[in-house]
Amino acid sequence: MIDDTHPAPPPLAAVADLTLADEAATRRLGADLALALNPGDVVALCGDLGAGKSTLARAAIRTLADDPGLEVPSPTYTLVQTYATTPPVAHFDLYRLAGDNELDELGFEDSARDGIALVEWPQNAPSALAAATVVVELAMAPGSGRIAAISASEIAGARIRRSLAIRDFLAAAGLAEAPRRRFTGDASTRRYETVESNGETLVLMDAPRQPDGPPVQSGLPYSRIAHLAEDVAPFVAVAQSLVAAGFAAPAIRKADLDNGFLLIDHLGADTLLDTAGRPVPERYQAAIACLAELHATPWPSEMPVADGIVHTVPAFDRGAMRIEVDLIVDWYLPRAKGRPATDNERADFAAAWNALFEALAAAETSLTLRDFHSPNIIWRPEQSGRQRIGLIDFQDAVIGPSAYDVASLAQDARVDIPAELEARLVAHYIALRQAEGGFDADSFQRAYAIMAAQRASKILGIFVRLMERDAKPQYLRHIPRIKAYLRRTLGHPALAALRALYQDWGVLDEDTAPQALRPSDTRS
């Protein structure tokens, strides 16, 4: 029996009334809806025979499967068909039901909880209709075509409105009928799609403006202190400046700054890793060479975005560095020790890092992309020189120590970089910079050690925060690697006090991870 003890779903509100000129428009709507659905969504497809319910459902399933040619049989006789998509989807046809009694046998509740349920003829099983987070009512339009009336819960409705707004954005770019496909996402709120245009693949960035979080220090939210981008304007500014300087960043084809939509070049699909996910030394060396050229390039602190709009690239100041490194005390240490950090631990931590920040005062600064590691670097073997290295995900760029991005690459958080390869990359960078003249290798080595330790400390805190706050435990599998980098880095004489502190805290222990950091399921 369906469990009627669950709270009633939230009320539905009108989202959109659309005119679908032909069957292709119905399929596009199915795809656009699929791109807005999350696990737990139940989509009730209502309408008479021939209204287009199955056409819409098939398009949605093919989009979720990322397979335009997927065979999607009608579940008229089987009543349900399931698909191992991401998230999983179940397609129900309840035409032959006369009530709720069979829903349990069909696995409706499990499907609605763990994945997406697309339900034709939901009115034949009142519990299915009552569980709907989205209702699409399809009817034949006078003359030809169809009419689709969409209503949804507040949360699902917001996602659907954004997906439909993306379709409007593409239409304004001359791509009203362009197929959309899920591309990739990251640990942020940004998401990406690919869009086909006359045989060319473009990338759609969906990056809604982020509201300020709660104040954490001096009345300011974390994002302001750490200088994190809150809209797409910084990405546009940095991308245009990189392209103008001859680096391989995505050209901006079309931008909607207010809504956070960008249509940009697709730089390619190859990475710095081989097919087994291992670093390819020659590719990493090319990336280091690209960094050396980038750091030798003079960069303005103000970069144009659009007519009358300028982005001021923030300095990677002590406040930003400090609030980032505090993440290890605020998140990692309490999780590992099972208690908050004490006042004495915080004071010792602050003293160690204040001394290191003072030592950075003389470090060379440049445009620092801030996340220069394998997920954000495209390998373009058909190009030459700096154009072989495609640059993405630089919206948080700052003017900061050049050594930061070198450490970000040579201690790649997502892949094991052997100590020998790290040393070779750093040596190659120093040699290239020294060839310019006037480069202080000793100062750079000190800054490199400090920035590597700062970045590793921040990442340990972020990965625990992603698990505890954002329910993303998959990042914990990287923690042993980050700890190994810290052990390697803290051998530099400038970091002796920090090393002693981290040893006392157990941060440098060589186990795989403290038991407290092992959730029951760390699948990605």
Q: What is the CATH number of the domain that holds 489?
A: 3.90.1200.10
Whether 116 and 251 share a structural domain? no
Q: What is the pLDDT of residues 451-476, one digit of tens each?
A: 999 999 999 999 999 999 988 898 89
User: Can you give the residue range of the structural domain that contains 470?
Assistant: 201-300+314-508
In a domain, 182, yes or no: no
What is the pTM for the complete model shown? 0.90
Asked if residue 477 is part of any domain, the answer here is yes
pLDDT band at residue 210 under the 50/70/90 scheme:
confident
Residue 281 confidence class, pLDDT cut points 50, 70, 90: very high
pLDDT band at residue 188 under the 50/70/90 scheme: low
Are 172 and 223 in the same domain?
no
Last residue of a domain, one of 177, 212, 238: 177
Whether residue 417 is predicted with pLDDT greater than 60 in this model: the reply is yes
- Kindly tell me if the per-residue pLDDT of 516 is higher than 80: no
Q: At how many degrees (to 10) do helices 53-65 and 23-34 cross?
A: 50
Number of compact structural domains in the chain: 2
Angstrom distance (rounded) from CA 367 to CA 290: 13
Q: Rounded distance, CA 37 to CA 32, Å?
A: 9
pLDDT in tens, 325-346: 999 999 999 998 999 999 999 9
Query: Over the stretch 167-178, which tens digit does the pLDDT of each residue have?
Result: 999 999 999 999
Quick one: pLDDT at residue 11?
Answer: 85
Residue 348 and residue 489 share a domain? yes
| Domain presence at residue 7 | no
Whether 207 and 173 map to the same domain: the answer is: no
Evaluate whether residue 519 is within a structural domain: no
Residues 123 and 217 in one domain: no
- Average pLDDT of the chain is 93
Instruction: Decide if 513 is inside a domain.
Output: no
Are both 336 and 475 inside the same structural domain? yes
Does 431 score more than 90 pLDDT? yes
Least confident of 206-220, 225-239, 265-279, 362-376: 206-220
The CATH number covering residue 120 comes to: 3.40.50.300
Instruction: State whether 160 and 225 are in the same domain.
Output: no
Looking at residue 213, its pLDDT comes to 85
**Given pLDDT bands bounded at 50, 70 and 90, which one contains residue 524?**
very low
Query: 522 or 110: which carries more pLDDT confidence?
Result: 110
pLDDT of 295 > 70? The answer is yes
| Within-domain flag for 516 | no
Query: What pLDDT is stored for residue 256 in this prediction?
Result: 98
Distance CA 164, CA 17 (A): 11
Whether residues 429 and 380 share a domain: the answer is yes
Note whether 354 and 474 are same-domain residues.
yes
Q: Within this chain, do residues 366 and 491 fall inside the same structural domain, yes or no?
A: yes
Percent of the chain with pLDDT over 70: 95
Average of per-residue pLDDT across 195-203: 92
**Is there a single domain that holds both residue 163 and residue 206?**
no
Residues 6+ apart with CB under 8 A from 326: 461
Q: Residue type at 356? A: L
Give the mean model confidence (pLDDT) for residues 138-160.
95
* Bridge-based pairing state of the strands 261-265 and 252-256: antiparallel
Secondary-structure breakdown of the chain: helix, strand, coil percentages, each rounded to the nearest 5 = 45, 20, 35
More reliable by pLDDT, 204 or 105: 204
> Could you tell me which of 447, 435, 378, 436 has the C-alpha nearest to residue 407?
447
Q: Over the stretch 2-43, which tens digit does the pLDDT of each residue have?
A: 444 445 556 899 999 999 999 999 999 999 999 999 999 999
pLDDT of residue 99: 86
* Same domain as 170, residue 276: no
pLDDT of residue 8: 57
